[in-house]
Protein backbone atom coordinates (compact mmCIF):
# COMPACT_ATOMS: atom_id res chain seq x y z
CA UNK A 1 0.00 0.00 0.00
CA UNK A 2 2.74 2.49 0.91
CA UNK A 3 4.73 1.71 -2.23
CA UNK A 4 1.62 2.26 -4.34
CA UNK A 5 0.98 5.63 -2.65
CA UNK A 6 4.62 6.58 -3.22
CA UNK A 7 4.48 5.67 -6.92
CA UNK A 8 1.28 7.67 -7.48
CA UNK A 9 2.48 10.79 -5.66
CA UNK A 10 5.86 10.63 -7.40
CA UNK A 11 4.20 10.34 -10.81
CA UNK A 12 1.80 13.21 -10.09
CA UNK A 13 4.57 15.53 -8.89
CA UNK A 14 6.76 14.73 -11.87
CA UNK A 15 3.92 15.20 -14.38
CA UNK A 16 3.18 18.76 -13.25
CA UNK A 17 6.67 19.98 -14.13
CA UNK A 18 6.94 22.22 -11.05
CA UNK A 19 8.99 19.77 -8.94
CA UNK A 20 12.65 19.02 -9.66
CA UNK A 21 12.97 16.15 -7.19
CA UNK A 22 11.62 14.49 -4.07
CA UNK A 23 12.72 12.85 -0.88
CA UNK A 24 10.30 10.21 0.33
CA UNK A 25 10.24 7.93 3.34
CA UNK A 26 9.72 5.09 0.86
CA UNK A 27 12.87 5.85 -1.17
CA UNK A 28 16.45 5.07 -0.13
CA UNK A 29 17.90 7.97 -2.13
CA UNK A 30 16.89 11.39 -3.41
CA UNK A 31 14.72 11.07 -6.51
CA UNK A 32 15.83 13.62 -9.10
CA UNK A 33 13.41 14.07 -11.96
CA UNK A 34 15.12 14.13 -15.35
CA UNK A 35 14.37 16.21 -18.42
CA UNK A 36 14.13 19.87 -19.35
CA UNK A 37 10.84 20.36 -17.53
CA UNK A 38 12.28 19.04 -14.23
CA UNK A 39 15.56 20.93 -14.55
CA UNK A 40 13.56 24.15 -14.92
CA UNK A 41 11.23 23.33 -12.02
CA UNK A 42 11.27 25.66 -9.02
CA UNK A 43 10.51 23.30 -6.13
CA UNK A 44 11.56 20.18 -4.25
CA UNK A 45 9.21 18.12 -2.07
CA UNK A 46 9.87 16.05 1.03
CA UNK A 47 7.09 13.60 1.91
CA UNK A 48 5.80 10.59 3.72
CA UNK A 49 3.27 9.27 1.21
CA UNK A 50 1.28 7.12 3.66
CA UNK A 51 2.04 7.95 7.26
CA UNK A 52 0.31 5.70 9.78
CA UNK A 53 0.12 2.74 7.40
CA UNK A 54 1.54 0.44 10.11
CA UNK A 55 -1.54 1.24 12.23
CA UNK A 56 -4.20 0.34 9.65
CA UNK A 57 -5.04 -2.87 11.53
CA UNK A 58 -6.20 -0.83 14.57
CA UNK A 59 -8.37 1.52 12.50
CA UNK A 60 -6.21 4.63 12.89
CA UNK A 61 -6.40 7.27 10.16
CA UNK A 62 -3.51 7.43 7.72
CA UNK A 63 -2.34 10.38 5.75
CA UNK A 64 0.26 12.07 3.56
CA UNK A 65 2.72 14.54 5.07
CA UNK A 66 4.58 17.00 2.83
CA UNK A 67 7.00 19.91 2.89
CA UNK A 68 7.81 22.12 -0.12
CA UNK A 69 10.97 24.20 -0.62
CA UNK A 70 12.26 26.41 -3.43
CA UNK A 71 15.30 24.82 -4.98
CA UNK A 72 18.62 26.53 -4.29
CA UNK A 73 20.60 25.05 -7.18
CA UNK A 74 20.51 27.16 -10.34
CA UNK A 75 17.66 26.55 -12.77
CA UNK A 76 18.83 24.30 -15.59
CA UNK A 77 20.98 22.10 -13.33
CA UNK A 78 20.00 18.94 -11.47
CA UNK A 79 19.01 19.41 -7.85
CA UNK A 80 21.41 18.25 -5.15
CA UNK A 81 21.19 17.11 -1.55
CA UNK A 82 21.55 20.76 -0.45
CA UNK A 83 18.14 21.56 -1.98
CA UNK A 84 16.52 19.17 0.50
CA UNK A 85 18.56 20.10 3.58
CA UNK A 86 17.27 23.64 4.03
CA UNK A 87 16.12 25.04 7.38
CA UNK A 88 12.41 24.92 8.17
CA UNK A 89 11.95 28.69 7.99
CA UNK A 90 12.67 28.48 4.24
CA UNK A 91 9.67 26.24 3.55
CA UNK A 92 7.24 27.49 0.94
CA UNK A 93 4.44 25.28 2.25
CA UNK A 94 3.86 22.25 4.45
CA UNK A 95 0.91 20.16 5.45
CA UNK A 96 -0.83 16.86 5.49
CA UNK A 97 -3.84 15.05 4.10
CA UNK A 98 -5.81 12.85 6.52
CA UNK A 99 -7.58 9.93 4.86
CA UNK A 100 -10.61 9.61 7.09
CA UNK A 101 -14.21 10.65 6.89
CA UNK A 102 -14.04 13.32 5.60
CA UNK A 103 -10.70 13.47 3.84
CA UNK A 104 -9.04 16.67 5.04
CA UNK A 105 -6.20 18.78 3.63
CA UNK A 106 -4.42 20.88 6.27
CA UNK A 107 -1.65 23.21 5.06
CA UNK A 108 0.24 26.41 5.65
CA UNK A 109 2.10 28.78 3.38
CA UNK A 110 3.43 30.74 6.33
CA UNK A 111 0.32 32.83 6.95
CA UNK A 112 -1.86 30.73 9.24
CA UNK A 113 -3.08 27.18 8.95
CA UNK A 114 -5.89 26.24 6.60
CA UNK A 115 -8.06 23.12 6.64
CA UNK A 116 -10.10 22.05 3.64
CA UNK A 117 -12.44 19.07 3.62
CA UNK A 118 -12.04 17.18 0.35
CA UNK A 119 -15.19 15.94 -1.37
CA UNK A 120 -14.88 12.84 -3.49
CA UNK A 121 -17.33 12.37 -6.32
Domain that holds residue 113: 2-118
Query: What domain count does the chain have?
Result: 1
C-alpha span between 63 and 51 (Å, rounded):
5
Strand partners, 47: 24, 66
C-alpha span between 10 and 48 (Å, rounded):
11
pLDDT at 19: 96
pLDDT at 58: 63
Q: Which of 4-13, 57-66, 100-109 has the least mean pLDDT?
A: 57-66
Q: What pTM, to 2 d.p., does this model score?
A: 0.88
Cα dist. 68→20, 92, 101, 107, 111 in Å? 11, 6, 26, 11, 15
Closest listed residue to residue 38, CA positions, set 7, 67, 13, 69 = 13
pLDDT at 121 over 70: no
Give counts: helices (H), strands (E), the chain. 3, 7
C-alpha span between 45 and 58 (Å, rounded):
30
pLDDT at 56: 62
pLDDT at 8 over 80: yes
C-alpha span between 66 and 54 (Å, rounded):
18
69-86: pLDDT as tens digits? 999 999 988 899 999 999
26-75: pLDDT as tens digits? 999 999 998 878 889 999 999 999 876 666 666 667 889 999 999 999 99
pLDDT at 44: 97
User: In this structure, what CATH number is given to the domain that contains residue 47?
Assistant: 3.30.540.10
Amino acid sequence: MTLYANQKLKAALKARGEVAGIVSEEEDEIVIFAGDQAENAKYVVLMDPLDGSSNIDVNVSGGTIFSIYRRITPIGESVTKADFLQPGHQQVAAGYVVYDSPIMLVYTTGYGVHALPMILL
